[in-house]
Amino acid sequence: MSDSQREILFLLRRSPRTRVELAEFLGISRPAVSKAVGGLLDLGILREPAGRTSPDGSVRYRKTRLSLNSEYARVAGLHLLRGRVDVALSGLDGLPSLRKAVAFDVAEPWTSVVDRALDALASLASPASPNDGSPPQWIACSTPGPVDVENGRLLSPPGLDAWHGADLCGFITRRTGIPCSLEHDAGALAILERDHGLGARFPSFGLLQVTGGGVGSAVLLEGHLFRGVSGMSPELGHMAVQANGRLCSCGSRGCLETVASGPALCRRFGEDYDRRDPGIVRYEAKHLAFGIQALANLLGLSHFVLYQDILDSTEDLVREIGRFVGIDGLYRTFRPLEVHGPMAPDPTPGHSACALAVDRFLLDLSQRK
């Protein structure tokens, strides 16, 4: 596959475009775009509505929008939560058409849990299910971090001791024969936002995920997930925000996760605290804003999107974080730092895992000769 075809797939993954728009964005001639598009149409991976003709039938108009053919291949997403695996199946549009949830005890061996999740996936993709019965061509797993993306292994997901060191992708591929990839759950959400949300307007942004387990983060730079030399995503939750603060699970003290995560708020305000209480929201927002500002100043980001497990309080938290970064942001006078709530439709774990599977499948497809 040519470089132009790879770029076209990347662009159409976000939104349909005409040949003229592709040529202008890529900076290449229209004949070059037509040649690249023709090859992708021959493969069946693109879809194009029939062009219009002039009244005498002699002229054909090509101002139609090209899009990915969602039926070209099926992909699957598995999202690991504490006590549950969400299983989803989608086409290349990344929109889950079928889902199942597999509950498990945290002490259960991880191989047993994955076996049951794969059985659930097989039932979704069976001829008896309400789809064409074709098996997925790629499986993507999104899990709490930290994770070893390159080798497809979980490292030490919080609250899931039985999963420490799990060779998740290796086990799935040996069991199914289907290629598999792994990503931190915050990274999967960033891919979802890139293809279906904030990324439609801004190719570079940060993402902050606040859950009952901790604080996760991811960064998109020009449409690509940013990783350090170890292949790890930025761990904003383990940035020190309090000198000599509480001991964190990572071994350091005063990490953001020790003051602004679900468990941290429980310790400070009690087990039955109200996440929507204005005082609690301000307390959480102040510390999260500190971490967001640090990462924005380091990488020159101007947009962040916030995900949290209690969605009905997201709007209040986003507003308070925006107020704090507006007061203290380094570049506030000429480039305000904006914080958004989820902008992707159906921002669920199953959706983000399927978006990740589409991303990895297309990347693999584009690298084939």
Q: What is the pLDDT of residues 8-58, one digit of tens each?
A: 988 888 888 888 889 998 888 888 988 999 999 998 999 888 665 555 655
Structural domain includes residue 192 = no
> Same domain for 122 and 86?
yes
Structural domain includes residue 195 = no
> Same domain for 122 and 224?
no
> Same domain for 303 and 281?
yes
| Contact present, 130 and 146 (Cβ < 8 Å) | no
Structural domain includes residue 166 = yes
Structural domain includes residue 214 = yes
Integer Rg of the chain from CA: 22
Specify the length of the chain in residues.
369
Kindly report the CATH number assigned to the domain that includes residue 158: 3.30.420.40
> Which pLDDT score is estimated for 240?
86
> Same domain for 329 and 233?
yes
> Same domain for 360 and 319?
no
Structural domain includes residue 207 = yes
Domain count of the fold of the chain: 3
Structural domain includes residue 194 = no
- Cα distances (Å, whole numbers) of residue 327 to 84, 181, 283, 323: 40, 41, 15, 6
Alpha-carbon distance of 267 to 63, in angstroms, equals: 59
> Same domain for 136 and 167?
yes
> Same domain for 257 and 135?
no
> Same domain for 163 and 90?
yes
Structural domain includes residue 295 = yes
> Same domain for 257 and 326?
yes
> Which pLDDT score is estimated for 53?
56
Alpha-carbon distance of 293 to 304, in angstroms, equals: 10
> Same domain for 9 and 63?
yes
Alpha-carbon distance of 175 to 189, in angstroms, equals: 26
Structural domain includes residue 196 = no
Q: Using CA atoms in the order 346, 226, 72, 77, what is the torsion angle rounded to 10 degrees?
A: -50
Range of the domain at 103: 75-187+348-366
> Same domain for 158 and 121?
yes
Bridging pattern class, strands 153-154 and 147-148: antiparallel
pLDDT per position in the chain (369 positions), as tens?
A: 888 888 898 888 888 888 888 999 888 888 898 899 999 999 899 988 866 555 565 555 556 889 899 889 999 999 999 899 999 999 998 888 889 999 999 999 999 999 999 999 999 887 654 455 578 999 999 998 788 999 999 988 888 999 999 999 999 999 999 999 999 999 999 999 998 888 888 889 999 988 777 888 999 998 889 887 767 778 888 888 888 888 888 888 888 888 888 888 888 888 888 878 888 889 888 889 888 888 888 888 889 998 876 555 678 888 888 888 866 555 554 567 888 888 887 777 688 999 999 999 998 988 875
Which of 41, 68, 95 is at the close of a domain?
68
| Contact present, 345 and 198 (Cβ < 8 Å) | no
DSSP helix/strand/coil, 230:
coil
> Same domain for 293 and 355?
no
Which of 68, 89, 108 is at the close of a domain?
68
The letter for the amino acid at 283 is: Y
Helices (H), the chain: 3-12, 19-26, 30-43, 110-124, 168-176, 185-196, 257-260, 262-269, 278-299, 314-328, 349-366
| Contact present, 47 and 69 (Cβ < 8 Å) | yes
Which of 30, 47, 68 is at the close of a domain?
68
